[in-house]
Amino acid sequence: MHILRRPEAEVEALAQALIEAKQQVGMCSVCFHLSAEPVCDICRSPSRDSSTICVVSDSRDVIALERTREYPGKYHVLGGLISPMDGIGPDQLNITPLDSSTICVVSDSRDVIALERTREYPGKYHVLGGLISPMDGIGPDQLNITPLVRRVSQQDIKEVIMAISPSVEGETTTLYVGQLIKPFTKVTRIAFGLPMGGDLEYADEVTLARALEGRREL
């Protein structure tokens, strides 16, 4: 209705702009972000940190993150998300699958069930059986920490992922266990900041900035 009310010349200009956008805008050959050039402005910029790459699912996420002005690095746009129900697998995305030997550390067997529902984690688990909580009389000796350290030190483990809830007890447990494992392998933790089901393009700048600040090594 709005377009029908506009002058004919304005509508023709809009139509021509859409045609030109479709003809000229493609994907950056480096990061797959939308670009009218073979390589986008972000990838060409000498002021961007080439040693940092932020992986996003869509070009709209790049635009949303750029609005925060908090991220100095570059991007890689996957072009979608893995969704078996929609017939979208890794082969349909701009990604090379990696095969690594990993252990995901959780506090409870219920966490294993929750993570398995995502169908995103191909590795194995280690259940601590609780969290360090001096107020409740639960110390490291009451948890399955020693078997974890022995498992990591004796096997070819490339990464240990700490998937512990961000409570006071969870943070204490994550830091304690992480320090014990670091001498043997890479230790990472799951990220926090954006809720599941939320879109980057609709998130406020502060939330996005905190999510960037709280990023963890994978």
Would you give the DSSP letter of residue 37?
S
Is 0.85 topped by the overall pTM?
A: no
Assign residue 162 the CATH number of its domain.
3.40.1360.10
In a shared domain, residues 149 and 73: no
The pLDDT assigned to 194 comes to 66
* Number of folded domains that form the chain: 2
Token representation of residue 121: 């984690």
Average predicted confidence (pLDDT) for the chain: 81
Of 70, 97, 124, at which residue does a domain stop? 97
Domain containing 118 equals: 102-189
Q: Cα separations (Å) of 61 from 54, 185, 207?
A: 10, 32, 14
- Average pLDDT over every residue of 162-186: 84
The pLDDT assigned to 99 comes to 34
At 185-205, the pLDDT tens digits run 888 887 666 666 777 777 777
Quickly count: other Cβ atoms within 10 Å of residue 131's Cβ.
22
Quickly count: other Cβ atoms within 10 Å of residue 11's Cβ.
13
- Average pLDDT over every residue of 171-191: 84
At 24-44, the pLDDT tens digits run 888 888 888 888 888 889 999
Task: Assess whether pLDDT exceeds 50 at residue 158.
Answer: yes
In a shared domain, residues 16 and 62: yes
